[in-house]
Every structure is written in structure tokens, then in C-alpha cells.
Chain A
Amino acid sequence: NAGVTQTPKFQVLKTGQSMTLQCAQDMNHEYMSWYRQDPGMGLRLIHYSVGAGITDQGEVPNGYNVSRSTTEDFPLRLLSAAPSQTSVYFCASRSDSIQYFGAGTRLSVL
């Protein structure tokens, strides 16, 4: 089992560019989430999904879009990147109470 796979591992964008952070899990988990991690602030929930076709906003959703067309995939889209979106992004899937995190994507927006 690969668990939760995130791509890319690193990305540099210019302000205003768009991109999609990919997340895939092979554990058949219904629940998936996106978090961002900033220094001194822990992890904050961006968006989450309780199953294919169902998404909802977390604590810091502005500037991000998500969709869930399959159980396996939960991509995070930045439509117009801003320097404030420089962060490390983690995707997670959940089975019962346990969240399994990917290795993260480090994003810099210049």
C-alpha cells in the first residue's frame, strides 16, 4: 500500500499563476482533507470531503477550490496564487478516528 500520495513535493509559482496539488489514496477511505502548515501556526484545515461528490469548507478555504470525483483522488486547486499561500500543504485520508497524512507539498509563491 502506498497510503496517501501527494504530488509534486516542491513547487514555485509566480503571483497570479494557477496550479493543482494532487492527492491520491489507495486505502478506500471515504474521508479526505487538505491542511496547510505555517510556522508557529500548526496545521489548519482548508477543505474536506466525506465522500465522492461531497466537499465542504474548513477553517481557511479562501483562495482554494476542491472537487472529489472519485474516492481515490482529492485535488486542491489554486486559481490565482498569492504570496500568502506560501506554505506546506498536507493531504490526509481518514479511517474511523485515524487520519493518515501524505508527505506534503512545499509551495512557494513569489
Chain B
Amino acid sequence: GENVEQHPSTLSVQEGDSAVIKCTYSDSASNYFPWYKQELGKGPQLIIDIRSNVGEKKDQRIAVTLNKTAKHFSLHITETQPEDSAVYFCAASESFQKLVFGTGTRLLVSP
């Protein structure tokens, strides 16, 4: 089955810096790669996703890149703000229903 590895487990940046979180996946059949943000005491919320027929997708300060050959994808957050502090999860799936999640990255943005 699919296995998703996520790094780093924690990431501390200064406000205004960029943050990058990386994930690798094992199943070449996976074709959908979402990123979720989880704030304390809440459920995960989708922030951006990418499908295997696209190499990069951007939405304001966040972007995701996908390298199918190397089986890795990354989340890029520019101009970080304190409200970006949260736990971020990557996931991979062959179908939209059965997501396999990474272990999460705790991002701390200091003012």
C-alpha cells in the first residue's frame, strides 16, 4: 500500500520568511496530493491540492510542487505570518476517498 513520509516534523521561522515542507510517496499509482492545515483543537482543513497531471499550483502565498518521477511533492509558504502557525499534513491517494497522510509538520511563525 501507499506510504507517505513528511519532513521536517517541526519548523520554526521568523515572520516574513518562507517555509517549505516536503513529502515523499511510494505508490506510483497515486494521482492526488492534498495539503491540510490543522489548528489547535480543530479538524484538518484543505488549503491546496495538486493532481498528477500538473507540476505546480499556486494560491496567493502558498504553492505546491510535484515531481512524479522522484515521487515527492512540497508545500511552499511565502511571507509567513503568525496565523500560519499550525500543523500541516500532506496526503496521497489513488482515489479521492482513501487518503494516506504524512505524519505532520508543526510550523511555528515567530513575530
Q: Which of B6, B41, B97 has the most CB of A within 10 A?
A: B97
| Residue of A whose beta carbon sits closest to that of B96 | A97
For chain B, residues 58 to 111, give those with C-beta under 8 angstroms from any C-beta of chain A: 89, 96-104
Do the beta carbons of B89 and A42 come within 8 Å of each other?
Answer: yes
Q: Is B44 an interface residue (CB 8 A)?
A: yes
Contact B44 A90 (CB under 8 A): yes
Docked complex Cα distance between A98 and B34 (Å): 9
Question: Number of contact residues on B: which range applies?
Answer: 20 to 34
Is B103 in contact with A33, judged by CB distance below 8 angstroms? no
Whether the Cβ atoms of A31 and B43 lie closer than 8 Å is no
Please give me the residue from chain A that is nearest to B51 by CB atom.
A97
Residue of A33, A42, A104 with most partner-chain B CB within 10 A: A42
**Nearest CB in chain B to that of A50: its residue:** B97
Given A43-B89, A90-B44, A104-B43, A99 contacting B103 (CB threshold 8 A) = no
Q: Are the CB atoms of A42 and B104 closer together than 8 Å? A: yes
8 Å CB interface, A49-93 against B:
50, 58-59, 90, 92
Q: Is the CB of B43 within 8 A of A102?
A: yes
Decide yes or no whether A27 CB sits under 8 A from chain B.
Answer: no
Contacts of B97 in A (CB 8 A): 31, 33, 48, 50, 94
10 interchain pairs, CB-CB under 8 A: A31-B96, A33-B97, A45-B98, A90-B44, A96-B96, A99-B34, A99-B46, A101-B36, A103-B42, A104-B43
A residues with CB within 8 A of B = 4, 31, 33, 40-45, 48, 50, 58-59, 90, 92, 94, 96-99, 101-104
Residues of chain B whose beta carbon lies under 8 Å from any beta carbon of chain A: 1, 4, 6, 9, 32, 34, 36, 41-46, 49, 89, 96-104
